[in-house]
Amino acid sequence: MTDAVGSIDMPDAEDEAPESKKKTRKGGKRAKKGPLKRLALFYRQIVAELRKVVWPTRSQLTTYTTVVIIFVVIMIGLVTVIDFGLDKAAKYVFG
């Protein structure tokens, strides 16, 4: 049975590439640089990535902070009520 690419029983020609033609590199470009140059490159890449970040405005930051604080206060209240209820239930059951 054949399809548009080839036979099911026969692999494609590009799958049969001889192993001798593949080049293996040890270390790549990093092996050529010293540790200080690699460290400097790392920090340059960090600065480049931080420049891509879209920083929130002051009003957005205030809004986000307020939402998080309100959410945390609500969750603290919820956990406190559940804890108090379970405490009362345990005292009722176990004396």
Q: What is the DSSP letter of 56?
A: P
- For position 88, what pLDDT does the model report? 96
- Is the pLDDT confidence value at 48 over 70? yes
> Whole-number mean pLDDT of the chain?
83
- Is the pLDDT confidence value at 19 over 60? no
- For position 7, what pLDDT does the model report? 55
Is 9 or 94 the better-scoring residue by pLDDT? 94
Angle formed at CA 63 by CA 57 and CA 67, multiple of 5 degrees: 145
- Cβ-contact 75, 67 below 8 angstroms: no
Q: Dihedral of the CA atoms 55, 60, 63, 67 (nearest 10)?
A: -40
pTM over 0.85: no
